[in-house]
């Protein structure tokens, strides 16, 4: 694929565009909105669930509807941005994100909120790759690109923490709806600023899109998630559960078949069949599966069990982000010296141990002596995993496949989060139901029984999160064989 880009209207090469640093500010604003939206709703979810009457089996759709469409359409969004125009795609994504946020903020029913979150994810899948592509073409000089990506990386890394804090503030002092409505002014400011500050650029070459592939894989993943949801209410052996699970897996298989037949596949299979890259993608998928769900249950544990306010719950979750920052900075220095495998395996062991540590929580567990240390260790483990993964994603990749390889890493994390959240939510509900049934006679106080059952459910969810992280660690240890000399000069970018 020829990635030559068009010059600006004034005839100045994009790399010399005089307003490129102002363009970076606009792009960073939009990227912050997309990143924080993955976590800002977590803190608000207990209130949103009560306000809209969302059942426990269905509440995971507030998270998975966003991550499913975001991950499912991310590769397609990158191709659309390249060929339709990166600025045009950026502005369309920002406008659509604002409209979807307004729909979610005004939702009166759970189904409306789920649909709005799905639309947010779809438009985010346009916005995020367009933002990254714009940075790539605007900053070509080595030092300038390093500075630009440092800003972008800080936004990507800090967005989750900002989302937790902002979600707590808005939920406690305004209303949970503002966790969605706050996106409207941010998106509109970014869109209107882009009109004059962001230049247009396109890639030349074959402009066909694998739209059927994106639709098939997203529907397949959604079917699997719905199958997990039905398992919570109808049981794992129910025909409807098995039907959706098997149907979803069949659609994913059809997607793989399509990728071998279409002229311009959404996901060229040569990208994922390499041993090192395949190990990185599988590790990313399982890591996302274990973490997204565990973060969701930590929010409910803070607010419903420990009685924290939304603001305090958001603050209490920040140590994970702190651990990620510390470990990511250290890993960035260590990966070129000792290679990716020792660091990511160590990170996987630490993250697994931290999640097992959290299985020991109870009704009266001390945050400071138990939960806080476990969160810090979890964050350190995650930071040690993510940095090597971003480098492994580009090992041996040709230039024309670099964008797809990087987007695949991001997509696997989002898809893993979708599947993991749905699966862990089902396991949580099953554990709560079983505990309440077996302890009904020995614990006559219904409130005490409900509280103890919920804590038991959280510990079961954390245990299976640890299992997913442990499997990811084993896969990375077995499949990844890359040494420091094999790594590309630049990583895959923030994930």
4 occurs within a structural domain: no
Give the C-alpha distances (Å, rounded to integers) separating 434 from 370, 390, 428, 439. Answer: 26, 41, 10, 9
Q: Which of 360, 379, 361 has the alpha carbon at shortest distance from 306?
A: 361
479 occurs within a structural domain: yes
Of 117-121, 208-212, 257-261, the one with minimum mean pLDDT is 208-212
d(Cα 197, Cα 133) in Å, to the nearest integer?
16
402 occurs within a structural domain: yes
Percent of the chain with pLDDT over 90: 58
427 occurs within a structural domain: yes
Contact 293, 287 (CB under 8 A): no
d(Cα 476, Cα 280) in Å, to the nearest integer?
7
Asked if residue 477 and residue 333 are part of one domain, the reply reads yes
Q: CA dihedral defined by 495, 209, 73, 410, rounded to 10 degrees?
A: -10
Contact 391, 486 (CB under 8 A): no
Question: What are phi and psi for residue 58, nearest 5 degrees?
Answer: -90, -15
The two three-digit tokens of residue 396, written as one number: 């041996």
Mean pLDDT over 215-226 rounds to: 94
Residue where a domain stops, chosen among 168, 201, 234: 201
* Whether residue 3 has pLDDT greater than 80: no
Task: Please report the pLDDT score of residue 152 as a whole number.
Answer: 76
Asked if residue 30 and residue 96 are part of one domain, the reply reads yes
* Whether residue 49 has pLDDT greater than 90: yes
Give the C-alpha distances (Å, rounded to integers) separating 319 from 160, 343, 379. Answer: 11, 21, 7
Q: What DSSP string describes 168-192?
A: HHHHHHT-TTHHHHTHHHHHHHHHH
Q: Please count the other Cβ atoms lying within 10 Å of the Cβ belonging to residue 419.
A: 25
Range 198-216 burial, b when 16+ CB lie within 10 A, else e? bbbbbbeeeeebbeebbeb
Of 111-125, 272-286, 310-324, 479-493, the one with minimum mean pLDDT is 479-493
Residue where a domain stops, chosen among 154, 173, 201: 201
The two three-digit tokens of residue 227, written as one number: 């199958």
Higher pLDDT, 1 or 466: 466
Percent of the chain with pLDDT over 70: 93
2 occurs within a structural domain: no
d(Cα 279, Cα 486) in Å, to the nearest integer?
15
Give the C-alpha distances (Å, rounded to integers) separating 206 from 203, 407, 471. Answer: 9, 19, 39
d(Cα 455, Cα 436) in Å, to the nearest integer?
11
Q: pLDDT per residue over 283-316, tens digit each?
A: 999 999 998 888 889 999 999 999 999 999 999 9
Asked if residue 221 and residue 112 are part of one domain, the reply reads no
Q: pLDDT per residue over 121-174, tens digit each?
A: 999 999 988 888 888 888 877 788 778 877 777 776 677 778 888 999 999 999
Asked if residue 46 and residue 97 are part of one domain, the reply reads yes
Q: Which of 409, 354, 419, 351 has the alpha carbon at shortest distance from 385?
A: 351
The two three-digit tokens of residue 103, written as one number: 């729909």
In 359-445, which residue ranges form alpha helices assigned H by DSSP?
A: 372-392, 402-438
- The per-residue pLDDT of the chain, averaged, comes to 88
Write the DSSP symbol of residue 475.
H
CATH number, domain with residue 18: 1.20.1250.20
- Name the 3-class secondary structure at 441: coil
Contact 380, 326 (CB under 8 A): yes
Asked if residue 230 and residue 197 are part of one domain, the reply reads no
Sole residue written with tokens 């994504």? 93
Q: pLDDT per residue over 68-109, tens digit each?
A: 999 999 888 888 888 888 899 999 999 999 999 999 999 999
* Whether residue 200 has pLDDT greater than 50: yes
d(Cα 27, Cα 133) in Å, to the nearest integer?
10
d(Cα 418, Cα 302) in Å, to the nearest integer?
22
The two three-digit tokens of residue 401, written as one number: 């496949």
Task: Please report the pLDDT score of residue 8 as a whole number.
Answer: 47
* Whether residue 324 has pLDDT greater than 80: yes
Task: Please report the pLDDT score of residue 13 as a whole number.
Answer: 65
302 occurs within a structural domain: yes
Asked if residue 157 and residue 276 are part of one domain, the reply reads no
Task: Please report the pLDDT score of residue 333 as a whole number.
Answer: 87
1 occurs within a structural domain: no
Mean pLDDT over 397-412 rounds to: 78
d(Cα 393, Cα 278) in Å, to the nearest integer?
8
* Whether residue 204 has pLDDT greater than 80: no
Asked if residue 311 and residue 214 are part of one domain, the reply reads no
d(Cα 180, Cα 116) in Å, to the nearest integer?
10
d(Cα 65, Cα 426) in Å, to the nearest integer?
16
Asked if residue 128 and residue 223 are part of one domain, the reply reads no
At 449, the pLDDT band (50, 70, 90 cuts) reads very high
d(Cα 89, Cα 134) in Å, to the nearest integer?
11
| Burial of 467 from C-beta contacts in 10 A (0-12 / 13-18 / 19+) | middle
Asked if residue 47 and residue 156 are part of one domain, the reply reads yes
178 occurs within a structural domain: yes
pTM of the model: 0.89
At 491, the pLDDT band (50, 70, 90 cuts) reads very low
* Whether residue 207 has pLDDT greater than 80: no
Mean pLDDT over 379-384 rounds to: 92
Asked if residue 141 and residue 220 are part of one domain, the reply reads no
Q: pLDDT per residue over 470-489, tens digit each?
A: 999 999 999 999 887 766 65
Q: Which residues lie across from 2 on neighbouring strands?
A: 204
Asked if residue 285 and residue 216 are part of one domain, the reply reads no
Higher pLDDT, 463 or 263: 463
| List of residues 6+ apart from 56 with CB closer than 8 A | 232, 425, 428, 429
Task: Please report the pLDDT score of residue 1 as a whole number.
Answer: 39
What residue numbers bound the domain in which 380 lies? 272-495
* Whether residue 10 has pLDDT greater than 70: no
Q: pLDDT per residue over 335-378, tens digit each?
A: 888 989 999 999 999 999 999 999 999 999 999 999 999 999 99
In 301-367, which residue ranges form alpha helices assigned H by DSSP?
A: 310-316, 318-338, 340-358
Task: Please report the pLDDT score of residue 487 as a whole number.
Answer: 67
The two three-digit tokens of residue 201, written as one number: 């650029």
Asked if residue 317 and residue 244 are part of one domain, the reply reads no
Task: Please report the pLDDT score of residue 84 as a whole number.
Answer: 86
Number of domains, the chain = 3
d(Cα 381, Cα 343) in Å, to the nearest integer?
9
């Amino acid at each position: 694929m020829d990635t030559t880009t068009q010059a600006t209207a004034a005839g100045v090469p994009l790399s010399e565009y005089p307003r490129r640093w102002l363009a970076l500010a606009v792009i960073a604003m939009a990227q912050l909105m997309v990143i924080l939206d993955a976590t800002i709703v977590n803190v608000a979810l207990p209130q949103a669930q009560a306000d809209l009457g969302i059942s426990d089996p269905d509440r995971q759709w507030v998270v998975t509807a966003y991550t499913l469409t975001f991950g499912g359409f991310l590769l397609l969004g990158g191709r659309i941005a390249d060929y339709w125009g990166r600025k045009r795609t950026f502005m369309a994504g920002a406008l659509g994100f604002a409209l979807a946020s307004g729909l979610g903020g005004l939702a009166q029913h759970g189904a409306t909120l789920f649909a709005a979150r799905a639309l947010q994810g779809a438009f985010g899948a346009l916005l995020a790759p367009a933002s990254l592509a714009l940075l790539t073409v605007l900053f070509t000089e080595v030092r300038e690109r390093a500075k630009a990506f440092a800003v972008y990386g800080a936004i990507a890394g800090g967005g989750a923490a900002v989302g937790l804090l902002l979600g707590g503030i808005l939920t406690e002092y305004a209303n949970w709806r503002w966790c969605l409505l706050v996106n409207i002014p941010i998106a509109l400011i970014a869109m209107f600023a882009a009109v004059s500050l962001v230049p247009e650029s396109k890639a030349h070459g074959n402009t066909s899109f694998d739209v059927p592939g994106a639709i098939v894989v997203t529907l397949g993943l959604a079917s699997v998630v719905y199958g997990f949801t039905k398992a919570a209410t109808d049981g794992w052996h129910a025909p409807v559960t098995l039907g959706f699970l098997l149907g979803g897996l069949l659609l994913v298989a059809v997607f793989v078949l399509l990728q071998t037949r279409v002229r311009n596949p959404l996901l060229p299979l040569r990208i994922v069949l390499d041993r090192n890259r395949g190990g990185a993608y599988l590790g990313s998928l399982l890591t996302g599966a274990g973490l997204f769900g565990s973060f969701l249950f930590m929010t409910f544990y803070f607010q419903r069990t420990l009685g924290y306010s939304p603001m305090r719950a958001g603050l209490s979750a920040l140590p994970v982000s702190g651990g990620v920052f510390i470990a990511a900075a250290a890993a960035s220095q260590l990966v070129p010296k000792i290679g990716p495998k020792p660091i990511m395996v160590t990170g996987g062991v630490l993250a697994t141990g931290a999640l097992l540590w959290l299985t020991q929580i109870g009704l009266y567990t001390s945050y400071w002596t138990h939960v806080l240390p476990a969160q810090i260790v979890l964050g350190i483990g995650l930071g040690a995993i993510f940095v090597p993964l971003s480098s492994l994603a580009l090992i041996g990749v040709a230039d024309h496949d670099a964008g797809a390889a990087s987007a695949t890493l991001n997509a696997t994390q989002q898809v893993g989060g979708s599947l993991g959240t749905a699966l862990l939510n089902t396991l949580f509900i099953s554990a709560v139901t079983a505990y309440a049934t077996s302890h009904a006679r020995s614990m006559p106080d219904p409130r005490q029984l409900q509280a103890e059952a919920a804590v038991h459910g959280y510990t079961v969810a954390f245990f299976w999160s640890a299992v997913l992280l442990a499997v990811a660690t084993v896969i990375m240890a077995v499949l990844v064989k890359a040494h420091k000399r094999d790594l590309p000069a630049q990583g895959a970018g923030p994930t």
